[in-house]
Structure 1
Amino acid sequence: MTAKPEVTGFFEPRTWSIQYVVADPGTKNCAIIDPVLDYDEKSGATGTEQADRILAFIAEKGYRVEWILDTHPHADHFSAAQYLKEKTGAPTAIGEKVTEVQKLWKGIYNWPDFREDGSQWDKLFADKETFTVGNIPAHVMFSPGHTLASITYVIGDAAFVHDTLFMPDSGTARADFPGGSAKALWNSIQDILALPDETRIFTGHDYQPGGREPMWESTVAEQKAANIHMARFKSMEEFVAARDARDRTLPMPKLILHALQINTNAGQLPQPESNGRRYLKIPLNALEGAAW
């Protein structure tokens, strides 16, 4: 019988993101997945309300943080991985292909001195690499398509599929960011849907279609039967054509140029300048052809 971790989702309404605490009830060890650092692009303010909410929950439950995990460098929110590492001492981790994303965005941001070896994280996971959360076995699946570096964490009977599958009524993630590929996304989703039917699927975002309440948990069986893209498009060619056509109409996430300079650096904010203030760098006309 597959181990069943305790999974608690924390919905962040500004970016429709779901952050997770995944715990082994036996040992009380846990992992934090895809935590959000608050950021208001209008004022340039940052905050730790979301991360502190997670820390308060962990303290209340008596959990010990064993891992701080990101599934990929996010384009729509800042990662709180660095802040949570400072607070808990737990190691940070991401997939090893993050180096390809770093190389890509190093060029876009014109950062000649930026380290592109992934050394900003404590651990880079390879495809199929195994680890544990407490006594619960876990492994990594390379899941590119949305980004070059996307991975899925399978922890016991729970798969954290980030921006590949959404809830069945929402379909699948876009694949038009720099380094994205609808064909690669199709293949990644096929791998996820090959997991046992009872595997719990936890998605990285929920955009609340029709104004319904936020939802983030389904199963492989439910996704195969009812996902509005995967139940409809039965071939890679159909899926790629539909996904590409849809993606061409979508504007870029409002924070993509803000967030990637933080998230390719493991959630570390830019170093303060001589006046003690930190600054973001926004390239103009770098994402040509994107819908407005």
Structure 2
Amino acid sequence: MDILPFYEPQTGTWSYLLVDPGEHAAALVDPVLEFDPVSGLTDTSFVDAILNAADERGARIQWVLETHAHADHLTAADYVRRKHGARVVIGRGIRAVQRTFQRVFDFTDLSTDGRQFDRLVDEGDVIRLGSQEIAVMETPGHTSDSVTYRVADAAFVGDTLFAPNYGTARCDFPGGDAGTLYDSIVRLHALPDDTRLFLCHDYPGEGHQPQCRVTVAESRRSNIHISADTHRDDYVAMRNERDAGLDLPRLILPSVQVNIRAGAPPPPGPNGTAYLRTPFNRSLAELVAGTGPEAD
């Protein structure tokens, strides 16, 4: 299996092209659709470069594998599906995420059974890609729908682990839980030492190159948030304290509205234009919790 990483610097996101060269079959993991929140315009240049790389190898894109419904960038899943006929995959936990944001954004049109995706997966499911088998691990904690995709000695871990110097993902999004993330990371750290963990994000400092992967042995030994000696209660306390001081991602409002629909925008209005919604004078936390003026 050939694995080609592509880094989108505006959101610090890694997308991956997986190719089985013998079968000319390909899959994309977490493809990014660039978005300008000021103009409301998207740009497909980044994902088009990935698609061109597949074309150069004579590979047909069969799958788009989403590790979760992202809150920091828009997915290009629907674009790839429309352009190449690929099937979009996500964890079955997406239904709970959809129910939450259906209420938050008052999306009366939104079905919350996951039908916007072509396949919902659970622990132990297998996805065929040419001669290869991609196994699904449920790894919730960052979000309730988070999954890891394993193929050969590679695991695509989404927002669970980051590079060792950056630590682990936040757990303060709806459905997130620090204790659950700890349990998921312990499972990942129990994989064979030479397993390559392919990351969804990296945020390198000035003068440093972004890092797309780390071995299990390196992560277990060096991760600044969770090592082989870290106790669950200590991790939960650390993670919750850190999360309390974090700002929301810059693109969270447009991202979740599009990503819970597998990358498609909301239905257009009477004038033929699709619109994204921004709550006015209501925080996302209030809307998720069902508190604020309407709850009084």
Question: Which bracket does the TM-score occupy, shorter chain normalised?
Answer: over 0.9
Helix, strand or coil at the partner of 1:268: coil
Q: 1:84 & 1:226 partners in 2: Cα distance?
A: 36
Tell me which of 278, 281, 289 is aligned to 2:277: 281
Which TM-score applies when normalising by structure 2? 0.93
1:113 Cα deviation after fit: 3.0
Partner of 1:19: 15
Tell me which of 117, 123, 138 is aligned to 2:119: 123
1:164 pairs with 2:170? no
Tell me which of 143, 153, 156 is aligned to 2:139: 143
Q: Contact between 2:104 and 2:287, CA under 8 Å: does it hold in 1? A: no
Helix, strand or coil at the partner of 2:161: coil
Q: 1:244 & 1:209 partners in 2: Cα distance?
A: 24
Q: 1:89 & 1:232 partners in 2: Cα distance?
A: 43
Helix, strand or coil at the partner of 1:177: coil
1:271 Cα deviation after fit: 2.2
Q: Contact between 1:169 and 1:209, CA under 8 Å: does it hold in 2? A: no
Partner of 1:189: 185
Q: 1:288 & 1:124 partners in 2: Cα distance?
A: 29
Q: 2:90 & 2:174 partners in 1: Cα distance?
A: 18
- What per-residue deviation string (whole Å, max 9, x for no partner) do you get for residues 191-239 of structure 1? 1111111111100000114541111111111111111112286101111
Q: 1:151 & 1:286 partners in 2: Cα distance?
A: 24
Partner of 1:239: 235
Any gaps of 5 or more consecutive residues in structure 1? Answer: none
Which TM-score applies when normalising by structure 1? 0.94
Q: 2:263 & 2:222 partners in 1: Cα distance?
A: 35
Q: Contact between 1:233 and 1:239, CA under 8 Å: does it hold in 2? A: no
Tell me which of 261, 264, 289 is aligned to 2:257: 261
User: 4+ runs of 1 displaced by more than 6 Å?
Assistant: none
| Structure 2 CA distance for partners of 1:184 and 1:210, relative to 1, 3 Å | farther
Q: Contact between 1:131 and 1:139, CA under 8 Å: does it hold in 2? A: yes
Helix, strand or coil at the partner of 1:162: coil
Tell me which of 195, 198, 203 is aligned to 1:199: 195
Any gaps of 5 or more consecutive residues in structure 2? Answer: 289-296
- What per-residue deviation string (whole Å, max 9, x for no partner) do you get for residues 162-201 of structure 1? 1000111111111111111111100110111111111111
Partner amino acid for 1:287?
A
- What per-residue deviation string (whole Å, max 9, x for no partner) do you get for residues 70-122 of structure 1? 11000011110000001111111111111011111111111233100000011
Aligned residues: 286
Tell me which of 45, 48, 64 is aligned to 1:49: 45
| Structure 2 CA distance for partners of 1:169 and 1:232, relative to 1, 3 Å | farther
Q: 2:116 & 2:12 partners in 1: Cα distance?
A: 26
Helix, strand or coil at the partner of 1:228: coil
Tell me which of 233, 244, 248 is aligned to 2:244: 248
Partner of 1:218: 214
1:275 Cα deviation after fit: 2.2
Measured on the aligned residues, the alpha-carbon RMSD in Å equals: 1.6
Partner of 2:129: 133
